[in-house]
Amino acid sequence: MTVPRRSDALRNRASIIRAAEELVLRGTTPSPARIARLTGLGQATVYRHFPDRRTLLLTVAREHLGLLVEAAGRDADDPAAFRALLQAVMAYQVSMRPLVDALRRFPEPDRRGHVRRLLDVLRGPFDRSRAAGHLRHDIVLDDVVVVLTMLQAAVDLTPDPRRAIPVLLDGLFLPEPDRAAGSVRR
């Protein structure tokens, strides 16, 4: 039997996650000491909720996947929504660089699990977009992982990786006039 958490413990956990996100957005890898300073909680409280940085960062990544699930659900009937959803994933990847870098260093099962969960979120919107003729006919869902890897190279190598996002999206999606024909420009 699981004992329900006290409301202050739930608030503390949420505060720790928000602080970790804020630090990542600032370009800093969260540490218990930084989180404790930012939240006003003790380091012991941070460790009680998240015994190591890996657990904390995986939780932050799962929270953001939860937001993607909500976004995908809101536009579930719109086949054009996949582009906006994927653009949001890409913008997140750029803005949360320290988190993405940390995830890349995690053990293979953690990385593979995160990618699988991401693809599970994207699968329905991807399928609807492809069926409606918004995507190139030769694109499969696994190509999204390749595109995200390409974006990571832009994050690592260019001063403004956000510029790569529309270029990469345009490689997946058909231009507006070609959608009706379901073809690819040559």
CB 182 within 8 A of CB 137: yes
Q: Return the structure tokens found at 27.
A: 């370009």
Task: With beta carbons less than 8 A apart as the criterion, state whether 53 and 31 touch.
Answer: yes
User: pLDDT 10s per residue in the chain (186 long)?
Assistant: 555 678 899 999 999 999 999 999 898 889 999 999 999 999 999 999 999 999 999 999 999 888 888 988 888 889 999 999 999 999 999 999 889 988 889 999 999 999 999 999 999 999 999 999 999 999 999 999 999 999 999 999 999 999 999 999 999 999 975 555 554 444
Which fold is adopted by the domain 53-179? Answer: Tetracycline Repressor; domain 2 (1.10.357)
- Residue 4 has a pLDDT of 61
Q: From residue 61, how far is each of 67, 84, 90, 99, 115 by CA, in Å?
A: 10, 19, 14, 8, 11
Domain coordinates in residue numbering, the chain: 1-51, 53-179
Q: How far apart are CA 9 and CA 30, in angstroms?
A: 20
Position 182 scores a pLDDT of: 52
User: What element of type H or E holds 100?
Assistant: helix 97-105
Which run of H or of E encompasses 82?
helix 81-95
pLDDT score of 6: 86
The pLDDT of residue 12 is 95
pLDDT in the model for residue 67 = 87
pLDDT at site 72: 85
Q: What are phi and psi of 3, to 5 degrees?
A: -85, 130
pLDDT at 185: 44
Topology of 1-51 in CATH?
Arc Repressor Mutant, subunit A (1.10.10)
Separation of alpha carbons 53 and 30, rounded Å:
8
Question: Residue 173's closest CA among 146, 153, 144?
Answer: 144
pLDDT of residue 55: 94
